[in-house]
Chains A and B, each alone.
Chain A
Amino acid sequence: MDFSLSAEQRELTEAAAGFARGKLNQDLAKREAAGEFPWDAWRACADFGIQGLPVPTELGGAGSDVLTTALVMEALGYGCRDNGLLFSLNAQMWSVELPLVIFGTPEQQRAYLPGLVSGEVIGGHAMTEPGSGSDALHMRSRAERRGDSYVLNGAKQYITNAPVADFLLVYAALADRPGLAGLSTFLVDVSAPGVVVSGGFEKMGLRTSPMGEVALSDCRVPATSRLGPEGAGMAVFNSSMEWERSCLFASAAGAMRRQLEECVAYARSREQFGQPIGKFQAVAGKLADMYVRLEAARLLIYRVAWLKQQGRPAPAEAAAAKLFTSEAWVRSSQDAIQTHGAWGYLKEAGIERDLRDALASTIYSGTSEIQRVVLARMLGL
């Protein structure tokens, strides 16, 4: 088993980390306090090629393989402290771009992917509803076929990117086909009549990643806006979640690597009782645990990336990667604060932000509780 990176992967990840450190952290404290979406950084990422990584070259992307894309996202997480920006990027890449690549018609791909890749267009994934969060597939939004169009009615909640999106991937159940067999997916422009997007949620963390609500009221969309055949909604959602639960968390692994390096540097330099605090086992053991969590997370993530690269479903592996990495990131973020003591607790140090951002990761893409349900079911329990 060869775990080494190719020369090209090494070069690309080093470039991505350098780009992230140099271009994506400007004015972060101020932007985070204001809950401001980083438009300049978003466009800079597009210029660098981030949004285009998993998109085929004929549609303007880089056509990178899954492993390489995940490695680059890890490098971004390592260099970029704006976890909100990375969350918005990842949300678009794995639950909007990839569904278009996998399920979209050539016309749909040509209509949306070039703009997503260039950064001129932003997409959002509209699944969650007030009455269906973890029980995502039992939604109330309905799509009624009328001639060559569908009429959508419903309400979506906690939709990442919605306040800045140009279009949304909306899930709705067909009115004449109850249950999972009728769940379908639609590409909906936010400017379409009958769509109202509202934002303004004040979040604990990921504050630069906008989140909003979407109201659909007799919103008519052409039948050509349906993504995949009627009833493909479950397949689209399962696919999105597998990609999110693995590749999205590559950025979290990058953040954990950054945290560990900063903690090691601090533990080697900060002296108490006449020696660096890293010499005390209570501190050293904490950093050792951070290292183990980081490496275990990376192995889980990259195994899923490898499986997806083979074209194979990886539901258990993705759930395990997501569950472990998200909880490891929370724990490592706590350890980073603890290692830095009172300084780690201050906003100006920029260390406590990671904990506030990491906590969301045990909730989005399916809560930790749901990942355990998935794993138990996959074990046959």
Chain B
Amino acid sequence: METVINDYISRELVHDPALLPLADGTPLLETGIMDSLSLLRLVVFLEERFGVTMGDTDLLPENFSSVNAICAYLRARQPGKQATAHG
């Protein structure tokens, strides 16, 4: 899961090459990688790849602060089950 999400963020959301390679613990908001629009793009990606539906109350900074945080949030959404990527 970390690899899939890291790849997506690195490819689609990171515009400054100096920030690559992206560590799973890199703070996404503070580094400017994540803004309100890139968050929405990421959410659409996560919904499609991991088969989750995210409501408005899920879009909190702590759930998207880093790749690790995103994975922790997704795993908490599916307790006892590893979230799998589709497609």
**Chain B residues with Cβ under 8 A from A234's Cβ?**
36, 39, 59, 61
Tell me the minimal C-beta distance from A99 to chain B in angstroms: 9
Closest A residue to B63 by CB, please name it.
A235
Would you call B56 and A235 a contact (CB within 8 A)?
A: yes
Closest B residue to A378 by CB, please name it.
B41
Contacts A313-B40, A380-B12; A235 near B53 (Cβ below 8 A): no
How many of chain B's residues have a CB under 8 angstroms from any CB in A? 25
**Chain B residues with Cβ under 8 A from A103's Cβ?**
56-57
Within 8 A of A (CB), among B2-48: 12, 29-30, 34-41, 43-44, 47
**Chain A residues with Cβ under 8 A from B53's Cβ?**
310-312
Would you call A229 and B60 a contact (CB within 8 A)?
A: yes
Tell me the minimal C-beta distance from A143 to chain B in angstroms: 15
Would you call B56 and A313 a contact (CB within 8 A)?
A: yes
Tell me how many residue pairs across A and B have CB atoms closer than 8 Å: 74
Q: How far is the CA of A358 from the CA of B35 in the complex (A)?
A: 30
Interface string of A359-381 (1 = CB under 8 A from B): 00000000000000110011010
Interface string of A293-317 (1 = CB under 8 A from B): 0000000000000000011110110
Q: How far is the CA of A373 from the CA of B35 in the complex (A)?
A: 13
**Chain B residues with Cβ under 8 A from A229's Cβ?**
60
Closest A residue to B62 by CB, please name it.
A231
B85 at the interface (CB under 8 A from A): no
Q: How far is the CA of A176 from the CA of B30 in the complex (A)?
A: 14
A209 at the interface (CB under 8 A from B): no
Would you call A180 and B29 a contact (CB within 8 A)?
A: yes
Residue with the highest number of chain A CB atoms closer than 10 Å, among B40, B55, B57: B40
Tell me the minimal C-beta distance from A180 to chain B in angstroms: 6
Would you call B44 and A313 a contact (CB within 8 A)?
A: yes
**Chain B residues with Cβ under 8 A from A316's Cβ?**
44
B54 at the interface (CB under 8 A from A): yes
Would you call A102 and B41 a contact (CB within 8 A)?
A: no
**Chain B residues with Cβ under 8 A from A377's Cβ?**
37-38, 41
Q: How far is the CA of A236 from the CA of B56 in the complex (A)?
A: 7
Closest A residue to B37 by CB, please name it.
A377
Closest B residue to A315 by CB, please name it.
B40
A210 at the interface (CB under 8 A from B): no
Would you call B57 and A102 a contact (CB within 8 A)?
A: yes
Would you call B38 and A238 a contact (CB within 8 A)?
A: no
A137 at the interface (CB under 8 A from B): yes
- Pairs A–B under 8 Å by Cβ, sample size 25: A102-B55, A102-B56, A180-B29, A180-B36, A181-B30, A229-B60, A235-B60, A238-B36, A239-B59, A242-B56, A310-B53, A312-B54, A313-B40, A313-B43, A313-B44, A313-B47, A313-B54, A313-B56, A313-B59, A315-B37, A315-B44, A316-B44, A374-B40, A378-B41, A380-B12
Binding site for B on A (CB under 8 A): 102-103, 137, 179-181, 228-229, 231-232, 234-239, 242, 310-313, 315-316, 373-374, 377-378, 380
Chain A to chain B: the 4 pairs with minimum beta-carbon distance, closest first: A239-B56, A315-B40, A235-B59, A181-B61
